[in-house]
Amino acid sequence: MSRSAHPAGPRHADVLTEGHYSGPPADLNALDPKVWAQTVERDEHGVLAVGGIDVKRLAEEFGTPAYFLDEEDFRARARAWRTAFGDDADVFYAGKAFLSRAVVRWLHEEGLNLDVCSGGELATALSAGMPAERIAFHGNNKSPGEIRRAVEAGVGRIVLDSFQEIVRVAHIAQELGTRQRVQIRITVGVEAHTHEFIATAHEDQKFGIPLAGGQAAEAVRRALKLDGLELIGIHSHIGSQIFDMSGFEVAAHRVVGLLKDIRDEHGVELPEIDLGGGLGIAYTSDDDPREPYEIAKSLTEIVTRECEAARLATPRISVEPGRAVVGPTAFTLYEVGTVKQLDGLRTYVSVDGGMSDNIRTALYDAEYSVSLVSRGSDAEPMLCRVVGKHCESGDIVVKDAYLPGDLAPGDLLAVPATGAYCRSMASNYNHVLRPPVVAVRDGEARVIVRRETEEDLLRLDVG
Ligand code: LLP
């Protein structure tokens, strides 16, 4: 990312966070299509609309803070993945990014499969009618109860993550008188260029079984011996919010290498490989994400080439995008409560949500964009920090943002690209109520996850 080392903003420039500065945008009212959902636009007064409905109306009807999700955009992105990979591959949407029953139905309709990683996600998927055989079950410590439920439901695959789990799943499947289709998740030893907490293919971490040192080969040996398991493939997920394709290519190369070793040792050609999710999206104008067809082309080419060289039949490829499907499709709408100018220091703009609806800034130092969306403004840009309402100084929504200098309480701000890992990682910190998710399409808005209420909180509090 290119950012000036010597910030010189119009106000309080001396206290800019190092490395988070790219200067005021030429036009604060402009909407960069890279970071906003497809149907977002401004009217002649500068009021933002999504799916044909303006944010003032949305705020009045649904309150703030709230996530507004562009259903058309979600479906278009899901379709783009489906089309990019074609009929010889499978796309599993990673439900951890954001899951609700409406989302499950959209995925089903658009021909995607679903990756779940907990009993809760599995229950959501099944209750919305996703056929079990189109569900993959993940996780580094699935409980015996979760495994039993998944096997009973007939999920299409369980992705095994440890030696203990190989035995556990085999026993449960046998007890239930069935053979469970499984993949083994391996770590291929790639250092993905992303935040440490979301990189998952280097060896020193909790996910998967290392390829290095022969552990993955040993896992395959054990799985092939167990009657309760049908080993259908190898899985690799290298991390998340990745822009550099080379990590995926190295992973594909190493997974195919293992398939070849398996063929040589056991005389078995595993029919599938899964190369995980992880494609990055634009949170700010500095980010340049790749398109699904680019990743499809590059992965398909490398797998085909390597398999030809190893004289293996090309396995069926699957991928698991989460963020790249849902991330750009939603924005969070907040109302400004206070604007506090600390002379010579910084301007703090407080909104009515914060780290309980978006923990990513605090957790990963994530960068976001933010815009005034309830009106246009020609005022001079003001450098400020957008913060939440929680009892914590680290409760930051956008660290360094340019907003119009006439910003005032009651204005509405929108933070784009909050469709992934925001509602799904939301908390009740300070007993703040989790916001609703509202799907907007063709002039109609519909709550798909309702706002939490104080009754919801009190219902759980049974002391
Ligand atoms: N498949 C597996 C096995 C995964 O663990 C993940 C994400 C995905 C697919 C989907 O990855 P995506 O395409 O969404 O990057 N909370 C973090 C992200 C954690 C990702 C965990 N696994 C964040 O907010 O950035």
List the structure tokens of 387.
């913060």
The whole-angstrom separation of Cα 414 and Cα 40 is 11
Q: Is 198 in the pocket of ligand 1 (CB under 6 A)?
A: yes
User: Which residue's C-alpha comes closest to atom 8 of ligand 1?
Assistant: 277
| pLDDT value for 196 | 61
Q: How many CB atoms lie within 10 A of CB 220?
A: 24
How many Å lie between the centroid of ligand 1 and the Cα of residue 210?
A: 19
pTM summary value: 0.94
- Expressed in angstroms and rounded, the spacing between residue 364 Cα and the centre of ligand 1 is 13
Residue among 81, 91, 96 whose CB has most ligand 1 atoms within 8 A, to mutate? 96
Q: Does residue 138's CB lie within 6 angstroms of at least one atom of ligand 1?
A: yes
- CB 274, CB 233: distance < 8 Å: yes
Check pocket membership of 242 for ligand 1, CB cut-off 6 A. Answer: no
Contact (CB, 8 A) for 106 and 83: no
Task: Name the DSSP letter for residue 245.
Answer: T
Residue 278 alpha carbon to ligand 1 centre in Å: 6
Identify whether 117 is a catalytic site residue.
no
Q: Is 345 exposed, middle or buried (0-12, 13-18, 19+ CB in 10 A)?
A: exposed
Can you give the pLDDT at residue 26?
83
Q: Which residues have CB under 8 Å from 122's CB, separation 6+?
A: 116, 135, 137, 146, 149, 150, 153, 155
For atom 6 of ligand 1, the residue with the nearest CA is: 277
Q: According to the model, what pLDDT value does residue 1 have?
A: 32
Ligand 1 atom 16: the closest Cα is on which residue? 421
Q: Is 95 in the pocket of ligand 1 (CB under 6 A)?
A: no
Fold of 41-70+328-460: Lyase, Ornithine Decarboxylase; Chain A, domain 1 (2.40.37)
CATH of domain 138-321: 3.20.20.10
Cα–ligand 1 centroid distance for 418 (angstroms): 14
Q: HSE of 342 in the Cβ direction (CA atoms, 13 Å)?
A: 10
Burial 56-92 (b: 16+ CB within 10 A, else e): bebbeebbbbbbbbbbbbbbbbbbbbbebbeeebbbb
Whose alpha carbon is nearest atom 24 of ligand 1? 421
Q: Is the CB of 289 under 6 A from ligand 1?
A: no
State whether the beta carbon of 12 lies less than 6 angstroms from ligand 1.
no
pLDDT on residue 202 = 72
Q: Is 321 a pocket residue for ligand 1 (Cβ < 6 Å)?
A: yes
pLDDT tens digit at each of 463 positions of the chain: 333 333 333 333 344 444 445 678 889 999 999 999 999 999 999 999 999 999 999 999 999 999 999 999 999 999 999 999 999 999 999 999 999 999 999 999 999 999 999 999 999 999 999 999 999 999 999 999 999 999 999 999 999 999 999 999 999 999 999 999 999 999 998 876 666 665 666 778 899 999 999 999 999 999 999 999 999 999 999 999 999 888 888 999 999 999 999 999 999 999 999 999 999 999 999 999 999 999 999 999 999 999 999 999 999 999 999 999 999 999 999 999 999 999 999 999 999 999 999 999 999 999 999 999 999 999 999 999 999 999 999 999 999 999 999 999 999 999 999 999 999 999 999 999 999 999 999 999 999 999 999 999 999 999 9
Residue 48 is predicted with a pLDDT of 98
**Domain ranges within the chain, ordered by starting residue:** 41-70+328-460, 138-321
pLDDT of residue 199: 64
For residue 195, how many C-alpha atoms fall within 13 Å in the half-sphere facing its CB? 13
pLDDT of residue 195: 62
Distance 279 CA to ligand 1 centre (A): 9
Please give the backbone phi and psi of residue 101, each rounded to the nearest 5 degrees, phi first.
Answer: -65, -35
Q: How far apart are CA 81 and CA 77, in angstroms?
A: 6
Bridge-partner residues for 386, per DSSP? 349, 398
Closest listed residue to residue 238, CA positions, set 273, 184, 185, 190: 190
Which residues are within 8 A (CB) of 31 and not within 5 positions of it... i.e. 6 or more apart? Answer: 40, 41, 42, 48, 371
Cα 45 to averaged position of ligand 1 atoms, centre (Å): 38
